[in-house]
Every structure is written in C-alpha cells, then in structure tokens.
C-alpha cells in the first residue's frame, strides 16, 4: 500500500521535472486549467475538469478553446497552462514501466 506522503512526494518530483521541460504543445487531457489574461486586465479561466463534468468531450473542449482564442486573439495578453500533474505522471509512469518491462 502506498502512503499519502509517498504520493505527495511523487507528485512533487513530477512538478519539478515538468517545470524544467520545454513544452511546445500540451494535450488537453493533461491540463487542469487554462488561464487567459486579457489586455484589459480581466482573466478568463477554462477549468478542464468542470468542462468534462458538464459533458464536454476533449475534442469539444479543444474546439471551444480554439474558437475563444481565434475570436479574442487581439485582446489576449498571455495564457497560462496549468498541468494536471497526476494525469501526466500516471501516463508517463505506465509507459516507462512498459518500456522497461516492469
């Protein structure tokens, strides 16, 4: 049985690893939320988990985000992509185990 503190340590290690990664694209299923800061100082937040709970599929969320960015492109100051560390670590750990034959 894995203790909660061990899981927290694992997530902390993943946060450190991913903080140093040069990421060009991020699949929506690896995002927790997207914060879009507008030039007027307001902020739009797309909470991926909430959108999925409302019944939206990943492709629909991608389309929603794409349409928002296309529509407000000239008004966007910056975008902050917040990773879902649990989702990333789960997939990478599983693939690593498979690769190493564990």
The b-or-e profile of 64-92 (16+ CB within 10 A means b, else e) is ebeeeeeeeeeeeeeeebebbbeebbeee
Give the pair of three-digit tokens for residue 79.
């975008």
- The full set of domain ranges for the chain reads 26-100
Position 1 scores a pLDDT of 47
74 pLDDT more than 80: yes
Position 102 scores a pLDDT of 60
The pTM score is: 0.67
What span, in angstroms and rounded, lies between the C-alpha atoms of 94 and 71? 38
Nearby residues of 59 by Cβ (< 8 Å), 6 or more positions away: none
Give the pair of three-digit tokens for residue 10.
């694992």
- By the 8 A CB rule, do 28 and 62 touch? yes
pLDDT digits (tens, 9 = 90+) for 7-52: 667 667 766 665 665 556 678 888 999 999 999 999 999 999 899 9
């Amino acid at each position: 049985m894995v203790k909660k503190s061990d899981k927290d340590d694992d997530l902390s290690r993943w946060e450190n690893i991913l903080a140093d990664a040069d990421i060009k694209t991020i699949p929506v299923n690896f995002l927790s939320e997207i914060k879009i800061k507008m030039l007027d100082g307001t902020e739009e937040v797309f909470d991926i988990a909430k959108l999925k709970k409302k019944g939206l599929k990943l492709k629909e969320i991608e389309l929603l985000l794409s349409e928002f960015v296309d529509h407000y492109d000239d008004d966007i100051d910056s975008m902050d992509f917040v990773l879902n560390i649990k989702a990333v670590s789960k997939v990478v750990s599983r693939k690593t185990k498979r690769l190493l034959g564990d």
